[in-house]
């Protein structure tokens, strides 16, 4: 009769056999990752190739690659020639143009920012919207000793700044009210407006005038004079602003408002968003 050895009777260098083995976890590659592998391979190759060559290069089953290619061809992300070779499709070209335009905007706006800084002799900022906040995208420091606290990357609530009002001024009243109701915050100086209706009206008026001025709302003795940069649909995509001491902003006959409005218009014209 055969007997089973207990764990205590096993040799020192032996281990009990598990009753159920845990299957080895297989790594899965998502459909999105596979699609990117296909696109990356075509980009790196620089020429149309067949599905078999793609599957071999990315280490994927041929059936999987065929499925992904068919889907991408249907969506104009890829094209297939008469011999079955695959190449990048026209939809990617449109995405590339959109990305290129965004790079053009930053380049054009930054150049204008530096020109305005020299013209005004004050610090100039480009600002955009980051959900409920205004975000400083770029900055050119003026020659004076006046220091600005909001550096590149600074995020502040929309209701604290002249730019913040402009960035939402193109929205309809319902959207403006809803936005300010949940995002308006008291500022360190206690001077920032927090009433949603007042803010909504001020944003609409500033956008219509293409000029917004605030002083002492986010920082003591600091003022900001901003103008909107609008795309071809009339939406404010960014602002250009002069940041300066409060007393200068309200000095009689100062040229800052005209300077900043002219700079915003030049950016729009160079981007093809303004025809006159």
pLDDT digits (tens, 9 = 90+) for 53-102: 999 999 999 999 999 999 999 999 999 999 999 999 999 988 888 877 77
Consecutive H or E run containing 135: strand 133-140
What would the mean pLDDT of 257-268 be, rounded to a whole number? 96
Q: Where does the chain hold its CATH 1.10.10.10 domain(s)?
A: 29-88
Instruction: Count the helix, strand and coil residues of the chain and give each as a percent rounded to the nearest 5.
Output: 45, 20, 35
Q: Chain-centre distance of CA 264, in angstroms?
A: 20
Q: Is the pTM here over 0.85, yes or no?
A: no
What would the mean pLDDT of 148-167 be, rounded to a whole number? 89
Query: For strand 155-157 and strand 212-215, is the pairing parallel, antiparallel, or unpaired?
Result: unpaired
Distance CA 79, CA 118 (A): 50
Of the two residues 18 and 170, the one the predictor is more confident about is 170
Hey, what CATH topology would domain 29-88 get?
Answer: Arc Repressor Mutant, subunit A (1.10.10)
- On the question of pLDDT at 260 being above 60, the answer is yes
- Going from the C-alpha of 212 to that of each of 20, 36, 204, the distances in angstroms are 71, 44, 10
Q: What number does CATH give the domain 101-270?
A: 3.30.450.40
Per-residue pLDDT tens for 165-176? 999 999 999 999
Q: 211 CB contacts (<8 Å, ≥6 apart)?
A: 225, 226, 227, 257, 260, 261
pLDDT at residue 6, as a whole number: 40
Consecutive H or E run containing 173: helix 173-183
Tokens of 156: 């502040």
pLDDT at residue 21, as a whole number: 46
Band the pLDDT of 25: cuts 50, 70, 90. Answer: very low
Residue 78 CB neighbours (<10 A) = 24
Per-residue pLDDT tens for 176-233? 999 999 999 999 999 999 999 999 999 999 999 999 999 888 888 889 999 999 999 9
Per-residue pLDDT tens for 33-50? 999 999 999 988 889 999
pLDDT at residue 254, as a whole number: 87
Q: Where does the chain hold its CATH 3.30.450.40 domain(s)?
A: 101-270
């Amino acid at each position: 009769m055969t007997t089973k050895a207990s764990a205590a009777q096993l040799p020192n260098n032996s281990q009990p056999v598990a009753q159920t083995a845990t299957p080895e976890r297989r790594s899965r590659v998502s459909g999105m990752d596979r699609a990117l592998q296909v696109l990356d391979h075509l980009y790196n190759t620089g020429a149309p190739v067949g599905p078999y060559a793609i599957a071999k290069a990315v280490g994927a089953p041929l059936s999987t690659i065929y499925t992904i290619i068919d889907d991408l061809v249907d969506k104009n992300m890829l094209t297939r020639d008469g011999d079955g070779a695959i190449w990048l499709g026209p939809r990617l070209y449109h995405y590339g143009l959109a990305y290129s335009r965004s790079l053009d905007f930053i380049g054009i706006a930054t150049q204008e920012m530096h020109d305005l800084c020299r013209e005004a002799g004050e610090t100039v900022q480009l600002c955009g919207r980051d959900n409920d906040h205004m975000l400083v995208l770029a900055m050119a420091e003026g020659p004076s000793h006046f220091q600005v606290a909001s550096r590149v990357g600074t995020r502040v609530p929309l209701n604290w700044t002249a730019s913040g009002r402009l960035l939402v001024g193109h929205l309809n009243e319902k959207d403006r009210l809803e936005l300010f109701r949940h995002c308006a915050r008291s500022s360190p100086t206690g001077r920032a407006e927090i009433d949603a209706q007042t803010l909504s009206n001020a944003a609409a008026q500033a956008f219509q005038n293409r000029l917004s001025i605030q002083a002492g709302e986010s920082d003591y003795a600091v003022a900001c004079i901003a103008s909107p940069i609008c795309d071809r649909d009339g939406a404010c995509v960014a602002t250009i602003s002069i940041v300066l001491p409060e007393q200068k902003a309200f000095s009689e006959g100062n040229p800052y408002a005209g300077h900043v409005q002219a700079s915003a218009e030049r950016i729009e014209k160079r981007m093809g968003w303004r025809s006159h």
